[in-house]
Structure 1
Amino acid sequence: MARSKNPDEHYFFTSESVSMGHPDKVSDAVSDAVLDSLLAVDNRARVACETMCTTGLVVVGGEITVHNQKAINALNNAEETIRDIIRKIGYTGDIGMKFDADTCAVMRVMHSQSDDISMGVSEGEGLHKEQGAGDQGLMFGFACRETPDLMPLPIDLSHKLVERHAKVRQDNKLIKGLRPDAKSQVTVEYDINNKPVRIDTVVLSTQHTEAWNGKAQQAKLKKAVIKHIIEPCMPKKLYDPKNVTIHVNPTGQFEIGGPHGDVGLTGRKIIVDTYGGRGRHGGGAFSGKDPSKVDRSAAYMARYIAKNLVASRICDVCEVQLSYAIGVAEPTSIHVDTYKTGKLPEPEITQLVRDIFPLTPDGILKHLKLRNPIFSPTASHGHFGRKPGKVKVNGKSYETFTWEKTDLAAKIKKAAGI
């Protein structure tokens, strides 16, 4: 296969994504569905919801504290909430998948949040007057100019592939017999200036019914997947059908999948959820955690900061690190790395961040409007690079993906004098 003219000056970077039907994403979706069901009636609910799913079984555990009868009722109705989200993902009516929303067993193992943690997080109860961070930890945000959403191209394309897969599967017209579990992977070739020059390799593995088993049927499926899923997602300027490697179901077939094929766990796809391996990761997962947990809220704020800095054109690439101590409101550190693309020295950019962005847990929650049931849409296709929008829950409308707004870019630009 042809490569670039100067391969020594080029490099390759790969990211992956997984579909909503991947067992780990099923677990993420269940955890976030339980979280949203509680936030809808108690916006100060404390939730750390973990899920495990396997053949015919979903186990949900964690630490959950609620404050009113409606929330207690929602918690008591958790089984139906869980079955409903599994049904929406597509695990229903196909006994061959051996995992079904209406017949799987649901086990709940939950208790309330530790009083010692609650004391540090609740305003006015701990050593500090302000609401403190729900845990110690470090969180990263990243942004760059490779896509309109200011995301790295490999993860952006990987997400688009599984999103397209979901649409094709749910429509069941262009390709019949796809099942919910799928994985994508995209390798991009970059030049010496870190600019994408072409798509090198695309991988798409999709679960399917037994009708697609066998070499002949898999060959037909590959052609259909390339035509209806892969090619509609590829940027024309970077995608050359004659100069790209494509793998579709490279094991030979993929009938057995979902929670029957692999056990799923909440929080096991943190690189898929973020930037596909670009930049750093603090190690904390998101799904199932209420926004008092800075693992989630501060990671969203770090992305918001990085995206607004890049959108302001103060830099072309940006990574932001925030860190917190449990029970303490102010971050223990702030670090901005512009990868030598900044128009101002990094210490000055860091000071702009301190001056412009609210960085206490309470400030983050208010500014990004996180005390709302908005988290279920994040459980598939990534938490970043998404379009801000609205979601309706119990007849009320809430803003989603607020951390993807670039509404402070103009203020940054003015403060920086650029």
Structure 2
Amino acid sequence: MVSHPHCFICCYILPEPVYLPKVDAPQISDAIVDRFLQQDPYARVITECAASTGIVFIAARFAPNTNVDFTNIARQVIDHVGYEQKEFNGRNCSILTSLKELPLDQYHLFDEHKLSDAEIEQITVTNQVTVFGFACNQTSVLMPLPIWLAHKLARQISEVRKQNILSYLTPDGKTQVGVEYKNRRPDRIHSITVVASQRKAGKPELQQLHDDIRDTIIYPVFADEEIKPDDKTRIFINPDGEFIVGGPAVHSGLTGRKNAIDTYGEYSKHSGSALSGKDPIRIDRVGAYIARYAAKNIVAANLADECEVQLSYSIGLSRPVSVQVETFGTGKISDEDLTILLEKHFDFRLAGILQQFNLRHLPSLTKGGFYQKLAAYGHVGRTDIELPWEKTDKVGVF
């Protein structure tokens, strides 16, 4: 972020580019989580994945009594994403696994929907983490404008490829958006970067690629946006020249590397823990969801223009040891009063989160799985799938 304090204008450029849903290790990891929970909603699994040229490595720890074909799931994800090139495809890439069974865990074999409040209080977390949730009124989904626009561009690239509008595109790509702010509000589009991968060198030529990307991706994305590119907006399309094939054949992927893209584009803080690859017993995953839920409801209730909720959990306790609210001077009431309201009306306990969001049963209730869909285009601010933490059904408690 480059600031200009004397004129109260700043330019926020998404620190990391948003990547298209290539064989992003998180997609494979969350597809495995889905498969475990579809077979048994009380299954335990923690999995990580790395992808590189011609190879995928999966490391997983899981509870027994489930039958999951890790290799087949990985190949299905690769095919679904669309990699067909000889450098990397689901048919002949090598898949290595390092699998370890966890001891049978009776402690987490509870049905959260049958627990009393006293019993929920007895379910403690087994790992420690500080998670963050954020919301602001810059967009209709209460997300920061730069990450919202970057995800829209990424989606559009995928759409024009899948619909064969630009048949030369492959699944890999990146987007980045810079937004100038004036008095904490988006004022203009500073810059747009799109990197799109091609099947073959020289096809099309770079100028044709530039024209195609502008006409079919950038202009349609901004057509219904209130703030549009102007004559001073800098537009970069494949600024390093041709980008051939892309994906694991060019750069490796690893679960958890892009937490900022999964959340708020570093406009707000985020936990250092990966969100993907973990069953819902992990508080470092579901805690981030309940924190977003709390922050979004505060902004939706018009109690703040921006809100960040921080929750800190310690091993052996059911409730967070710390709940903090920061509204950056935009709150209609004090941050301390908002914190009191959150602790009174929101259940931040592990079993309470599972109960309210039904997180262990969503993979079997959602066609095509649930968690894998979060591994591309973000875990928050989604409009294409129904996420329980995106509801604003708590505005009435404030």
After TM superposition, the score normalised by the length of structure 1 is 0.86
What is residue 416 of structure 1 aligned with on the other side? none
Does residue 8 of the first structure (1) align with residue 7 of the second (2)? yes
Tell me how far 1:237 sits from its aligned partner.
Answer: 3.7
Distance 1:163 1:41 in 2: 31
What is residue 102 of structure 1 aligned with on the other side? 91
Distance 1:266 1:145 in 2: 30
Distance 1:166 1:7 in 2: 41
2:173 corresponds to which of 177, 182, 194: 182
Superimposed CA distance per residue, residues 259-298 of structure 1 (whole angstroms, 9 cap, x where no aligned partner): 0101110010001101001121221111111111111100
What is residue 375 of structure 1 aligned with on the other side? 371
What is residue 20 of structure 1 aligned with on the other side? 21
1:195 corresponds to which of 182, 185, 195: 185
After the TM superposition, which residues 217-256 of structure 1 pair with which residues of structure 2 at under 5 Å, given as runs?
217-234=205-222, 236-256=225-245
Distance 1:238 1:388 in 2: 22
Distance 2:319 2:106 in 1: 17
Does residue 295 of the first structure (1) align with residue 268 of the second (2)? no
Tell me how far 1:327 sits from its aligned partner.
Answer: 2.9
Distance 2:311 2:329 in 1: 20
1:204 corresponds to which of 187, 194, 209: 194
After the TM superposition, which residues 73-152 of structure 1 pair with which residues of structure 2 at under 5 Å, given as runs?
73=67, 75=68, 77-92=69-84, 94-95=85-86, 98-113=87-102, 130-152=122-144
Q: Which of structure 1's runs of 4+ aligned residues deviate more than 4 A?
A: 118-124
Contact 1:120 1:326 in 2 (8 A): no
Distance 1:133 1:224 in 2: 50
Contact 1:53 1:263 in 2 (8 A): yes
Distance 1:33 1:110 in 2: 16
What is residue 58 of structure 2 aligned with on the other side? 60
What is residue 410 of structure 1 aligned with on the other side? 396
Identity of aligned residues (%): 35
Structure 1 residues 236, 406: CA separation in 2 closer, same or farther (over 3 Å shift)?
A: closer
Q: Which amino acid aligns with 2:219?
A: E
Tell me how far 1:242 sits from its aligned partner.
Answer: 1.8
Distance 1:129 1:403 in 2: 21
Distance 1:204 1:361 in 2: 40
Distance 2:178 2:149 in 1: 10
What is residue 255 of structure 2 aligned with on the other side? 266
Structure 1 residues 176, 123: CA separation in 2 closer, same or farther (over 3 Å shift)?
A: closer
Contact 1:123 1:130 in 2 (8 A): no
Contact 2:195 2:238 in 1 (8 A): yes
Moved more, 355-364 or 234-243: 234-243
Distance 2:257 2:178 in 1: 22
Superimposed CA distance per residue, residues 196-223 of structure 1 (whole angstroms, 9 cap, x where no aligned partner): 111110000011111545xx70110011
What is residue 152 of structure 2 aligned with on the other side? 160
Distance 1:366 1:64 in 2: 22
Return 5+ residue gaps in structure 2 as ranges.
112-119, 364-369
Distance 1:270 1:340 in 2: 26
Return 5+ residue gaps in structure 1 as ranges.
1-5, 390-399, 413-418
Secondary structure, aligned partner of 1:335? strand
After the TM superposition, which residues 323-334 of structure 1 pair with which residues of structure 2 at under 5 Å, given as runs?
323-334=312-323
Tell me how far 1:56 sits from its aligned partner.
Answer: 1.2
Distance 2:180 2:76 in 1: 41
Distance 2:295 2:60 in 1: 32
Structure 1 residues 176, 388: CA separation in 2 closer, same or farther (over 3 Å shift)?
A: closer
CA RMSD of aligned residues (A): 2.1
After TM superposition, the score normalised by the length of structure 2 is 0.90
What is residue 337 of structure 2 aligned with on the other side? 348
Contact 1:123 1:132 in 2 (8 A): no
What is residue 117 of structure 2 aligned with on the other side? none
Q: Kindly tell me the number of residue pairs found equivalent between the two proteins.
A: 377
What is residue 393 of structure 1 aligned with on the other side? none
